[in-house]
Amino acid sequence: MAQNHVLIVGSRKTKKLTIVKDIFGVSDFSSFLDKNAKSHTGLIISNGKIVCKYYTADVNIFVDEVQPTLESYNEWLVEFQSSQMKELRDSIQGIILTLRVEILSRHSDQFTQSLQHISDLLDSEYIEDHTGDNEFQWNGFKVVVGIMSEDSSRVDDSWLEKLEEKIPETGFDFVIKREIRHLHVIVAQHLAVEMN
């Protein structure tokens, strides 16, 4: 069975480990977490699984942590596009970005542009590496998970609807944390394709 690698990036308290637990079935983090660590940056979880009716897939999960600002996410997105990160980009089958939706209330255009750049880069690198395979885009999944917090009560519903339109235009799915079942479906569908 092929090994799948998923990268989860988000700031503190954006449910990164909850997603690992809910989607990938990891319930015991004691062998992965350093209790003295101030962040989850560099955390590698090697016993994840995605379980569906027709198959089970093993998943390694890489976790990175950013500051809870739009600027920090944008810096990470730019760094992810660098040549130093190509080996990581080549090894992952999925990327999940977790963030509090209210940080996108201003300047979300730069964030969505960065998402588009990443989609374009993943596609072009994948096509370049698979010349002659009739592959036209990266075969991994890309998801932004929006976390609704107490501060999210200030988020206007019409603005949230715009995000639900803008982010998918970049090639990333957009899931609100309360719709986490949808994230499970996205991951499961992708890993089923990878196994065939």
Check which CATH number belongs to the domain holding 142 and give it: 3.40.50
| Structural domains of the chain, count | 1
How confident is the model at residue 75, as a pLDDT?
95
Which residues span the domain enclosing 190?
Answer: 4-195
pTM: 0.85
Note down pLDDT in tens along the chain; length 196 residues: 346 899 999 999 888 888 888 888 887 777 666 677 676 777 778 888 887 788 888 889 999 999 999 999 999 999 999 999 999 999 999 999 999 888 887 778 889 999 999 999 999 998 887 776 677 788 899 999 988 866 556 667 778 888 889 999 999 999 887 655 556 666 666 665 454 4
- The rounded distance, in Å, linking the Cα atoms of 4 and 124 is 21
Question: What is the pairing mode between strands 56-65 and 43-51?
Answer: antiparallel
- The rounded distance, in Å, linking the Cα atoms of 4 and 30 is 22
Residues 6+ apart with CB under 8 A from 45: 20, 24, 26, 29, 32, 60, 61, 63
Sign of CA dihedral 100, 101, 106, 112: positive
- Around Cβ 151, how many Cβ atoms within 10 Å? 12
